[in-house]
Amino acid sequence: MSKVKKIFLHEKDMPTQWYNITADMPNKPLPPLHPGTKQPIGPEMLAPLFPMELIKQEVTSERWIDIPEEVQDLYKLWRPTPLHRAYNLEKALDTPAKIYYKNESVSPAGSHKPNTAIPQAYYNYKEGVKHITTETGAGQWGSALSFACQHFGIDLKVFMVKVSYFQKPYRKMMMNTWGAEVIPSPSNLTEAGRKILAEHPDSPGSLGIAISEAVEMAAKDENTKYSLGSVLNHVLLHQTIIGLESIKQMEIAENYPDIVIGCFGGGSNFAGISFPFLRHNFVDGKKTRVIAAEPASCPKLTRGQFQYDFGDTAGYTPLIPMYTLGHNFVPDNIHAGGLRYHGAGAIVSQLLKDKLMEAQSVKQLETFEAGVLFANTEGIIPAPESTHAIAVAIREALKAKKEGTAKTILFNLSGHGFIDMAAYDQYFAGKLQDHEVTDLEIKESLAQLEKVM
Protein backbone atom coordinates (compact mmCIF):
# COMPACT_ATOMS: atom_id res chain seq x y z
CA MET A 1 0.00 0.00 0.00
CA SER A 2 2.91 2.32 0.50
CA LYS A 3 3.92 2.49 -3.13
CA VAL A 4 4.85 6.04 -4.10
CA LYS A 5 2.40 7.36 -6.69
CA LYS A 6 3.82 10.81 -7.43
CA ILE A 7 7.39 11.89 -7.87
CA PHE A 8 7.86 15.58 -7.13
CA LEU A 9 10.95 17.50 -8.07
CA HIS A 10 12.03 20.43 -5.91
CA GLU A 11 12.13 23.81 -7.65
CA LYS A 12 15.89 23.99 -7.12
CA ASP A 13 16.20 20.83 -9.25
CA MET A 14 14.24 22.24 -12.18
CA PRO A 15 16.37 22.21 -15.34
CA THR A 16 17.87 25.61 -16.18
CA GLN A 17 18.57 24.86 -19.87
CA TRP A 18 16.45 23.61 -22.75
CA TYR A 19 17.74 20.79 -24.97
CA ASN A 20 18.21 21.33 -28.71
CA ILE A 21 18.00 17.96 -30.42
CA THR A 22 19.41 19.20 -33.74
CA ALA A 23 22.85 19.18 -32.09
CA ASP A 24 22.68 15.39 -31.81
CA MET A 25 20.61 14.26 -34.80
CA PRO A 26 22.50 11.96 -37.17
CA ASN A 27 20.84 13.70 -40.14
CA LYS A 28 20.01 17.36 -39.62
CA PRO A 29 16.58 18.58 -40.71
CA LEU A 30 16.47 20.08 -44.22
CA PRO A 31 16.34 23.88 -44.31
CA PRO A 32 13.11 25.84 -44.88
CA LEU A 33 12.88 27.21 -48.43
CA HIS A 34 11.63 30.46 -49.92
CA PRO A 35 8.44 29.58 -51.82
CA GLY A 36 9.44 31.75 -54.80
CA THR A 37 13.16 31.03 -55.22
CA LYS A 38 13.11 27.56 -53.61
CA GLN A 39 16.37 28.62 -51.93
CA PRO A 40 17.03 28.21 -48.18
CA ILE A 41 15.76 31.26 -46.31
CA GLY A 42 17.92 33.33 -44.00
CA PRO A 43 16.98 34.55 -40.54
CA GLU A 44 16.18 37.99 -41.96
CA MET A 45 13.11 36.58 -43.74
CA LEU A 46 11.63 35.64 -40.37
CA ALA A 47 12.33 39.03 -38.80
CA PRO A 48 8.95 40.59 -39.62
CA LEU A 49 7.23 37.83 -37.66
CA PHE A 50 9.50 36.92 -34.74
CA PRO A 51 11.87 38.64 -32.32
CA MET A 52 15.56 38.04 -33.08
CA GLU A 53 16.23 35.85 -30.05
CA LEU A 54 13.58 33.34 -31.14
CA ILE A 55 14.94 33.36 -34.70
CA LYS A 56 18.37 32.55 -33.29
CA GLN A 57 16.88 29.65 -31.34
CA GLU A 58 15.12 28.48 -34.50
CA VAL A 59 18.40 27.98 -36.36
CA THR A 60 20.98 27.38 -33.65
CA SER A 61 23.00 24.19 -33.41
CA GLU A 62 23.93 24.77 -29.76
CA ARG A 63 23.01 21.73 -27.69
CA TRP A 64 21.88 23.55 -24.53
CA ILE A 65 20.08 26.92 -24.36
CA ASP A 66 19.88 28.81 -21.06
CA ILE A 67 16.39 29.44 -19.72
CA PRO A 68 16.24 33.13 -18.69
CA GLU A 69 15.76 33.66 -14.96
CA GLU A 70 12.50 35.56 -15.46
CA VAL A 71 11.16 32.59 -17.42
CA GLN A 72 12.30 30.13 -14.77
CA ASP A 73 10.60 32.31 -12.21
CA LEU A 74 7.24 32.16 -14.00
CA TYR A 75 7.64 28.44 -14.72
CA LYS A 76 7.77 27.92 -10.98
CA LEU A 77 4.15 28.99 -10.62
CA TRP A 78 3.44 25.33 -11.49
CA ARG A 79 6.74 23.63 -12.47
CA PRO A 80 8.34 21.19 -11.89
CA THR A 81 5.20 19.19 -12.67
CA PRO A 82 4.58 15.84 -10.95
CA LEU A 83 5.39 12.48 -12.51
CA HIS A 84 2.81 9.86 -11.54
CA ARG A 85 2.97 6.09 -11.45
CA ALA A 86 -0.43 4.90 -12.73
CA TYR A 87 -0.87 1.95 -10.35
CA ASN A 88 -4.66 2.01 -10.63
CA LEU A 89 -4.56 1.96 -14.42
CA GLU A 90 -2.03 -0.88 -14.38
CA LYS A 91 -4.34 -2.83 -12.07
CA ALA A 92 -7.37 -2.22 -14.30
CA LEU A 93 -5.40 -3.49 -17.31
CA ASP A 94 -3.93 -6.38 -15.30
CA THR A 95 -0.62 -5.71 -17.01
CA PRO A 96 2.93 -6.41 -15.84
CA ALA A 97 3.92 -3.11 -17.50
CA LYS A 98 4.85 -0.16 -15.31
CA ILE A 99 2.98 2.91 -16.52
CA TYR A 100 4.16 6.41 -15.66
CA TYR A 101 2.75 9.72 -16.82
CA LYS A 102 4.08 13.24 -16.68
CA ASN A 103 1.30 15.55 -15.56
CA GLU A 104 1.37 18.77 -17.60
CA SER A 105 -2.30 19.42 -16.79
CA VAL A 106 -1.40 21.38 -13.63
CA SER A 107 -0.34 24.53 -15.48
CA PRO A 108 -2.37 27.79 -15.52
CA ALA A 109 -3.96 27.01 -18.89
CA GLY A 110 -4.23 23.31 -18.07
CA SER A 111 -1.69 21.97 -20.56
CA HIS A 112 1.97 21.99 -21.61
CA LYS A 113 1.47 25.11 -23.75
CA PRO A 114 2.65 27.73 -21.21
CA ASN A 115 6.14 26.14 -21.38
CA THR A 116 6.68 27.95 -24.68
CA ALA A 117 4.10 30.74 -24.31
CA ILE A 118 6.08 32.28 -21.46
CA PRO A 119 9.51 32.40 -23.16
CA GLN A 120 7.92 33.57 -26.42
CA ALA A 121 6.11 36.43 -24.66
CA TYR A 122 9.27 37.16 -22.68
CA TYR A 123 11.58 37.49 -25.72
CA ASN A 124 9.00 39.65 -27.50
CA TYR A 125 8.71 41.85 -24.40
CA LYS A 126 12.51 42.17 -24.18
CA GLU A 127 12.60 43.41 -27.77
CA GLY A 128 9.84 45.95 -27.15
CA VAL A 129 6.97 44.20 -28.93
CA LYS A 130 3.52 45.47 -27.87
CA HIS A 131 1.15 43.46 -30.11
CA ILE A 132 1.10 39.76 -30.99
CA THR A 133 -1.22 37.66 -33.13
CA THR A 134 -1.60 33.92 -32.94
CA GLU A 135 -3.93 31.07 -33.82
CA THR A 136 -5.39 28.35 -31.61
CA GLY A 137 -7.09 25.03 -32.25
CA ALA A 138 -8.78 23.65 -29.16
CA GLY A 139 -7.79 26.80 -27.31
CA GLN A 140 -4.99 25.42 -25.15
CA TRP A 141 -2.34 27.43 -26.95
CA GLY A 142 -4.41 30.59 -27.13
CA SER A 143 -5.14 30.57 -23.41
CA ALA A 144 -1.52 29.84 -22.52
CA LEU A 145 -0.30 32.75 -24.62
CA SER A 146 -3.04 35.00 -23.19
CA PHE A 147 -1.72 34.34 -19.69
CA ALA A 148 1.87 34.96 -20.78
CA CYS A 149 1.15 38.14 -22.78
CA GLN A 150 -0.96 39.54 -19.96
CA HIS A 151 1.99 39.09 -17.62
CA PHE A 152 4.35 41.00 -19.90
CA GLY A 153 1.83 43.70 -20.85
CA ILE A 154 1.50 42.61 -24.49
CA ASP A 155 -1.79 42.97 -26.38
CA LEU A 156 -2.88 39.67 -27.99
CA LYS A 157 -5.30 38.76 -30.79
CA VAL A 158 -6.14 35.04 -31.13
CA PHE A 159 -7.63 33.47 -34.28
CA MET A 160 -9.49 30.42 -32.96
CA VAL A 161 -10.51 27.58 -35.28
CA LYS A 162 -14.25 28.14 -35.70
CA VAL A 163 -15.40 24.63 -34.83
CA SER A 164 -13.49 24.79 -31.52
CA TYR A 165 -14.70 28.34 -30.86
CA PHE A 166 -18.21 26.94 -30.65
CA GLN A 167 -17.36 23.52 -29.18
CA LYS A 168 -15.28 25.05 -26.37
CA PRO A 169 -16.74 28.39 -25.31
CA TYR A 170 -15.01 28.21 -21.93
CA ARG A 171 -11.62 28.41 -23.66
CA LYS A 172 -12.60 31.73 -25.20
CA MET A 173 -13.70 32.94 -21.77
CA MET A 174 -10.34 31.95 -20.29
CA MET A 175 -8.53 33.94 -22.95
CA ASN A 176 -10.78 36.91 -22.19
CA THR A 177 -10.07 36.50 -18.47
CA TRP A 178 -6.39 36.87 -19.29
CA GLY A 179 -7.13 39.92 -21.41
CA ALA A 180 -6.91 38.59 -24.99
CA GLU A 181 -9.27 39.20 -27.92
CA VAL A 182 -10.58 36.04 -29.62
CA ILE A 183 -11.75 35.87 -33.24
CA PRO A 184 -13.38 32.79 -34.82
CA SER A 185 -11.44 31.70 -37.90
CA PRO A 186 -11.94 31.89 -40.87
CA SER A 187 -12.86 35.54 -40.32
CA ASN A 188 -13.52 38.59 -42.49
CA LEU A 189 -10.54 40.41 -40.93
CA THR A 190 -7.95 39.01 -43.35
CA GLU A 191 -7.65 38.27 -47.05
CA ALA A 192 -6.92 34.64 -46.27
CA GLY A 193 -10.08 34.38 -44.20
CA ARG A 194 -12.26 36.18 -46.73
CA LYS A 195 -11.02 33.91 -49.52
CA ILE A 196 -11.91 30.76 -47.59
CA LEU A 197 -15.32 32.14 -46.60
CA ALA A 198 -16.09 33.04 -50.21
CA GLU A 199 -15.41 29.46 -51.29
CA HIS A 200 -16.69 27.67 -48.17
CA PRO A 201 -19.03 29.90 -46.16
CA ASP A 202 -19.55 27.07 -43.63
CA SER A 203 -15.88 26.19 -43.26
CA PRO A 204 -15.24 24.77 -39.75
CA GLY A 205 -11.76 26.25 -40.00
CA SER A 206 -8.48 24.49 -39.37
CA LEU A 207 -5.17 25.31 -37.75
CA GLY A 208 -3.71 25.92 -41.21
CA ILE A 209 -6.30 28.58 -41.99
CA ALA A 210 -6.01 30.24 -38.58
CA ILE A 211 -2.22 30.40 -38.98
CA SER A 212 -2.67 32.15 -42.35
CA GLU A 213 -4.91 34.76 -40.73
CA ALA A 214 -2.60 35.42 -37.79
CA VAL A 215 0.52 35.55 -40.00
CA GLU A 216 -1.16 37.90 -42.48
CA MET A 217 -2.23 40.32 -39.78
CA ALA A 218 1.27 40.38 -38.22
CA ALA A 219 3.05 40.67 -41.56
CA LYS A 220 0.95 43.69 -42.54
CA ASP A 221 1.69 45.66 -39.37
CA GLU A 222 5.27 46.46 -38.45
CA ASN A 223 4.30 46.90 -34.81
CA THR A 224 2.84 43.40 -34.56
CA LYS A 225 4.67 40.10 -34.24
CA TYR A 226 3.36 36.57 -34.61
CA SER A 227 3.61 33.62 -32.26
CA LEU A 228 3.18 29.92 -33.03
CA GLY A 229 2.32 27.25 -30.47
CA SER A 230 3.90 24.22 -32.15
CA VAL A 231 5.75 22.92 -35.25
CA LEU A 232 8.74 25.30 -35.20
CA ASN A 233 12.13 24.33 -33.77
CA HIS A 234 12.18 26.98 -31.03
CA VAL A 235 8.75 25.89 -29.82
CA LEU A 236 9.83 22.26 -29.53
CA LEU A 237 13.00 23.45 -27.80
CA HIS A 238 11.05 25.17 -25.01
CA GLN A 239 8.94 22.07 -24.43
CA THR A 240 11.98 19.88 -23.72
CA ILE A 241 11.73 20.94 -20.09
CA ILE A 242 9.02 18.25 -19.85
CA GLY A 243 11.36 15.42 -20.78
CA LEU A 244 14.33 16.87 -18.90
CA GLU A 245 12.30 16.91 -15.68
CA SER A 246 10.98 13.43 -16.46
CA ILE A 247 14.49 12.02 -16.74
CA LYS A 248 15.32 13.32 -13.26
CA GLN A 249 12.05 11.96 -11.90
CA MET A 250 12.51 8.53 -13.50
CA GLU A 251 15.92 8.48 -11.82
CA ILE A 252 14.26 9.13 -8.46
CA ALA A 253 11.85 6.29 -9.30
CA GLU A 254 14.92 4.16 -10.09
CA ASN A 255 13.54 3.28 -13.47
CA TYR A 256 13.95 4.20 -17.15
CA PRO A 257 11.30 4.04 -19.87
CA ASP A 258 11.36 1.40 -22.61
CA ILE A 259 8.64 3.35 -24.38
CA VAL A 260 7.86 7.10 -24.41
CA ILE A 261 4.56 8.33 -25.88
CA GLY A 262 3.12 11.75 -26.71
CA CYS A 263 0.04 12.75 -28.67
CA PHE A 264 0.81 14.53 -31.92
CA GLY A 265 -0.67 17.66 -33.50
CA GLY A 266 2.16 19.97 -34.49
CA GLY A 267 4.61 18.01 -32.38
CA SER A 268 5.36 20.22 -29.40
CA ASN A 269 4.25 18.07 -26.46
CA PHE A 270 5.55 14.96 -28.22
CA ALA A 271 8.94 16.61 -28.71
CA GLY A 272 8.87 17.92 -25.17
CA ILE A 273 8.51 14.53 -23.54
CA SER A 274 10.61 12.52 -26.04
CA PHE A 275 13.61 14.53 -27.30
CA PRO A 276 15.59 14.34 -24.04
CA PHE A 277 15.11 10.55 -24.07
CA LEU A 278 16.11 10.39 -27.77
CA ARG A 279 19.29 12.16 -26.76
CA HIS A 280 20.15 9.18 -24.59
CA ASN A 281 19.41 6.91 -27.54
CA PHE A 282 21.81 8.97 -29.65
CA VAL A 283 24.65 9.47 -27.17
CA ASP A 284 24.32 6.75 -24.51
CA GLY A 285 23.18 3.77 -26.56
CA LYS A 286 19.75 3.62 -24.90
CA LYS A 287 17.05 1.98 -26.99
CA THR A 288 13.84 3.66 -25.86
CA ARG A 289 11.02 3.39 -28.38
CA VAL A 290 9.49 6.80 -28.96
CA ILE A 291 5.90 6.85 -30.29
CA ALA A 292 3.80 9.74 -31.61
CA ALA A 293 0.03 9.14 -31.23
CA GLU A 294 -1.97 10.89 -33.93
CA PRO A 295 -5.69 10.88 -34.78
CA ALA A 296 -6.80 8.51 -37.54
CA SER A 297 -8.67 11.42 -39.09
CA CYS A 298 -5.48 13.47 -39.53
CA PRO A 299 -2.75 10.86 -40.13
CA LYS A 300 0.17 12.80 -41.58
CA LEU A 301 2.82 10.68 -39.83
CA THR A 302 1.34 7.28 -40.65
CA ARG A 303 -0.15 8.03 -44.07
CA GLY A 304 1.23 11.40 -45.21
CA GLN A 305 4.09 12.08 -47.59
CA PHE A 306 7.53 13.51 -46.78
CA GLN A 307 8.03 16.65 -48.87
CA TYR A 308 8.23 20.43 -48.73
CA ASP A 309 4.92 22.08 -47.92
CA PHE A 310 3.53 25.29 -46.46
CA GLY A 311 2.85 25.51 -42.74
CA ASP A 312 -0.45 27.27 -43.38
CA THR A 313 -3.36 27.04 -45.76
CA ALA A 314 -2.93 30.29 -47.67
CA GLY A 315 0.75 29.65 -48.35
CA TYR A 316 2.21 32.58 -46.43
CA THR A 317 4.90 30.62 -44.58
CA PRO A 318 8.22 29.35 -45.90
CA LEU A 319 8.24 25.83 -47.33
CA ILE A 320 9.00 23.34 -44.59
CA PRO A 321 10.29 19.79 -45.11
CA MET A 322 7.55 17.72 -43.52
CA TYR A 323 5.32 14.70 -43.42
CA THR A 324 2.14 16.27 -44.69
CA LEU A 325 -1.36 15.61 -45.94
CA GLY A 326 -1.20 18.82 -47.98
CA HIS A 327 -1.76 22.30 -46.61
CA ASN A 328 -5.33 22.39 -47.94
CA PHE A 329 -6.31 19.28 -46.04
CA VAL A 330 -9.20 20.03 -43.68
CA PRO A 331 -9.49 17.26 -41.07
CA ASP A 332 -12.75 15.96 -39.69
CA ASN A 333 -14.20 17.88 -36.70
CA ILE A 334 -12.85 15.59 -34.00
CA HIS A 335 -12.86 16.91 -30.44
CA ALA A 336 -9.08 16.76 -30.22
CA GLY A 337 -8.91 20.14 -31.94
CA GLY A 338 -5.25 20.56 -31.05
CA LEU A 339 -4.34 17.61 -33.30
CA ARG A 340 -6.11 18.85 -36.43
CA TYR A 341 -3.00 19.99 -38.31
CA HIS A 342 -1.88 18.86 -41.76
CA GLY A 343 1.90 18.69 -41.22
CA ALA A 344 4.63 17.73 -38.80
CA GLY A 345 7.56 20.15 -38.60
CA ALA A 346 11.07 19.65 -39.89
CA ILE A 347 12.77 17.93 -36.94
CA VAL A 348 10.10 15.32 -36.23
CA SER A 349 9.72 14.61 -39.95
CA GLN A 350 13.45 13.93 -40.29
CA LEU A 351 13.42 11.69 -37.20
CA LEU A 352 10.51 9.69 -38.57
CA LYS A 353 12.10 9.44 -42.00
CA ASP A 354 15.27 8.11 -40.34
CA LYS A 355 13.18 5.61 -38.33
CA LEU A 356 14.44 7.07 -35.05
CA MET A 357 10.84 7.31 -33.84
CA GLU A 358 7.50 5.62 -34.53
CA ALA A 359 3.94 6.76 -35.08
CA GLN A 360 0.54 5.18 -34.46
CA SER A 361 -2.88 6.49 -35.38
CA VAL A 362 -5.92 6.12 -33.14
CA LYS A 363 -9.63 6.44 -33.92
CA GLN A 364 -11.74 8.81 -31.87
CA LEU A 365 -13.86 6.20 -30.05
CA GLU A 366 -10.77 4.33 -28.88
CA THR A 367 -9.36 7.57 -27.50
CA PHE A 368 -12.49 8.35 -25.48
CA GLU A 369 -12.66 4.79 -24.18
CA ALA A 370 -9.08 5.24 -22.98
CA GLY A 371 -9.88 8.65 -21.51
CA VAL A 372 -12.80 7.35 -19.47
CA LEU A 373 -10.76 4.41 -18.16
CA PHE A 374 -8.04 6.85 -17.15
CA ALA A 375 -10.55 9.17 -15.42
CA ASN A 376 -12.05 6.24 -13.54
CA THR A 377 -8.72 4.83 -12.38
CA GLU A 378 -6.31 7.76 -12.02
CA GLY A 379 -8.92 10.44 -11.31
CA ILE A 380 -7.88 13.01 -13.90
CA ILE A 381 -10.25 13.64 -16.81
CA PRO A 382 -7.84 14.03 -19.73
CA ALA A 383 -8.04 16.44 -22.66
CA PRO A 384 -9.23 14.74 -25.88
CA GLU A 385 -5.76 15.34 -27.32
CA SER A 386 -4.07 13.56 -24.42
CA THR A 387 -6.39 10.55 -24.70
CA HIS A 388 -4.48 9.65 -27.89
CA ALA A 389 -1.32 9.14 -25.85
CA ILE A 390 -3.26 7.21 -23.20
CA ALA A 391 -4.78 4.96 -25.87
CA VAL A 392 -1.35 4.07 -27.25
CA ALA A 393 0.01 3.56 -23.73
CA ILE A 394 -2.85 1.12 -23.10
CA ARG A 395 -2.13 -0.68 -26.39
CA GLU A 396 1.50 -1.09 -25.39
CA ALA A 397 0.61 -2.16 -21.84
CA LEU A 398 -1.74 -4.84 -23.19
CA LYS A 399 0.93 -5.97 -25.63
CA ALA A 400 3.35 -6.26 -22.70
CA LYS A 401 0.75 -8.34 -20.89
CA LYS A 402 0.39 -10.66 -23.89
CA GLU A 403 4.15 -10.98 -24.12
CA GLY A 404 4.53 -11.24 -20.34
CA THR A 405 7.16 -8.49 -20.26
CA ALA A 406 7.34 -5.85 -17.51
CA LYS A 407 7.91 -2.96 -19.91
CA THR A 408 8.21 0.55 -18.49
CA ILE A 409 5.95 2.97 -20.33
CA LEU A 410 5.97 6.75 -19.93
CA PHE A 411 3.43 9.02 -21.58
CA ASN A 412 2.78 12.73 -21.44
CA LEU A 413 -0.57 13.80 -20.03
CA SER A 414 -0.48 17.01 -22.02
CA GLY A 415 -3.64 18.50 -20.53
CA HIS A 416 -6.86 18.02 -18.55
CA GLY A 417 -10.34 17.81 -20.05
CA PHE A 418 -12.30 20.02 -17.64
CA ILE A 419 -13.08 22.39 -20.50
CA ASP A 420 -13.80 19.55 -22.92
CA MET A 421 -16.66 17.97 -20.99
CA ALA A 422 -19.07 18.51 -23.89
CA ALA A 423 -16.96 16.02 -25.86
CA TYR A 424 -17.38 13.40 -23.13
CA ASP A 425 -21.09 14.17 -23.03
CA GLN A 426 -21.39 13.48 -26.77
CA TYR A 427 -19.34 10.31 -26.37
CA PHE A 428 -21.67 8.96 -23.66
CA ALA A 429 -24.70 10.00 -25.72
CA GLY A 430 -23.36 7.83 -28.57
CA LYS A 431 -23.08 10.85 -30.83
CA LEU A 432 -19.41 10.43 -31.73
CA GLN A 433 -18.35 8.41 -34.71
CA ASP A 434 -15.07 7.20 -36.03
CA HIS A 435 -13.96 8.97 -39.12
CA GLU A 436 -11.01 7.56 -40.96
CA VAL A 437 -9.81 9.54 -43.91
CA THR A 438 -9.84 7.56 -47.18
CA ASP A 439 -6.81 6.88 -49.38
CA LEU A 440 -8.53 8.85 -52.12
CA GLU A 441 -8.90 11.95 -49.92
CA ILE A 442 -5.22 11.88 -49.06
CA LYS A 443 -4.22 11.26 -52.66
CA GLU A 444 -6.34 14.17 -53.89
CA SER A 445 -5.04 16.52 -51.23
CA LEU A 446 -1.44 15.64 -52.04
CA ALA A 447 -2.06 15.91 -55.80
CA GLN A 448 -3.32 19.46 -55.22
CA LEU A 449 -0.10 20.11 -53.35
CA GLU A 450 2.12 18.83 -56.17
CA LYS A 451 0.45 21.25 -58.54
CA VAL A 452 1.44 24.18 -56.30
CA MET A 453 5.06 23.17 -55.68
Stretch that binds a copy of itself, among 176-184, 278-286, 291-299, 326-334 (CB under 8 A): 176-184
Give the separation between CA 97 and CA 101, rounded to whole angstroms. 13
Nearest CA-CA partner of 407 in 393, 422, 387? 393
Any contact of residue 181 with a copy of itself (CB under 8 A)?
Answer: no
Interface with a copy of itself includes 108 (CB under 8 A)?
yes
How big is the site for a copy of itself, counted in residues (CB under 8 A)? 49
The residue within the footprint of a copy of itself, chosen from 96, 170, 219, 369 (CB under 8 A), is: 170
Q: Which of 17, 60, 176, 255 binds a copy of itself (CB under 8 A)?
A: 176
| Residue 182 C-beta: closest distance to a copy of itself, Å | 12
Q: How far is the CB of 408 from a copy of itself (least distance, A)?
A: 20
Q: Using the rule CB under 8 A, is 116 a contact of a copy of itself?
A: no
Q: Does 60 bind a copy of itself (CB under 8 A)?
A: no
From candidates 27, 61, 223, 376, binder to a copy of itself by CB under 8 A = 376
- CA 99/CA 39 separation, integer angstroms: 46
368-371 long-range contacts (CB < 8 A, ≥24 apart) are 368/423, 368/424, 368/427, 368/432, 370/394, 371/417, 371/424
Compare residues 285 and 379 and give the one whose CB is closer to a copy of itself.
Answer: 379
The stretch near a copy of itself (CB under 8 A) out of 129-137, 170-178, 215-223, 289-297 is: 170-178
In whole angstroms, give the CA distance from residue 319 to residue 45: 12
Residues numbered 377 to 436 that lie near a copy of itself (CB under 8 A) are 378-381, 416, 418-419, 421-422, 424-425, 428
Task: Please tell me whether residue 370 binds a copy of itself under the rule CB under 8 A.
Answer: no
By CB under 8 A, is residue 1 in contact with a copy of itself? yes
Site for a copy of itself in 140-169 (CB under 8 A): 147, 150-151, 169
Segment contacting a copy of itself by CB under 8 A, of 67-75, 221-229, 230-238, 349-357: 67-75
Our CB check for a copy of itself shows the closer of 50 and 424 to be 424
365 counts as binding a copy of itself under rule CB under 8 A: no
Judged by CB under 8 A, the residue of 179, 184, 315, 318 near a copy of itself is 179
Minimum distance, C-beta of residue 165 to a copy of itself, in the bound complex (Å):
14
* Out of 17, 372, 435, 436, the residue judged to bind a copy of itself by CB under 8 A: 372
CB of 119 to a copy of itself, least distance (A): 15
N-terminal to C-terminal alpha carbon distance within the chain: 61
Cα separation, 128 vs 116, in Å, equals 18
| 6 is a contact residue toward a copy of itself (CB under 8 A) | yes
Based on CB atoms, which residue is closest to a copy of itself, 145 or 419? 419
Task: By CB under 8 A, name the one of 10, 287, 355, 402 that touches a copy of itself.
Answer: 10
| Alpha-carbon dihedral sign for residues 93, 277, 308, 35 | positive
Among the candidate windows 73-81, 304-312, 347-355, 401-409, which touches a copy of itself by CB under 8 A? 73-81
| Residue 198 touches a copy of itself, criterion: CB under 8 A | no
33 binds a copy of itself (CB under 8 A): no
By C-beta, is 27 or 376 nearer to a copy of itself?
Answer: 376
Residues that bind a copy of itself (CB under 8 A): 1-2, 4-6, 8, 10-12, 69-70, 72-73, 76-78, 84, 88, 106-108, 110, 114, 147, 150-151, 169-170, 173-174, 176-179, 372, 375-376, 378-381, 416, 418-419, 421-422, 424-425, 428
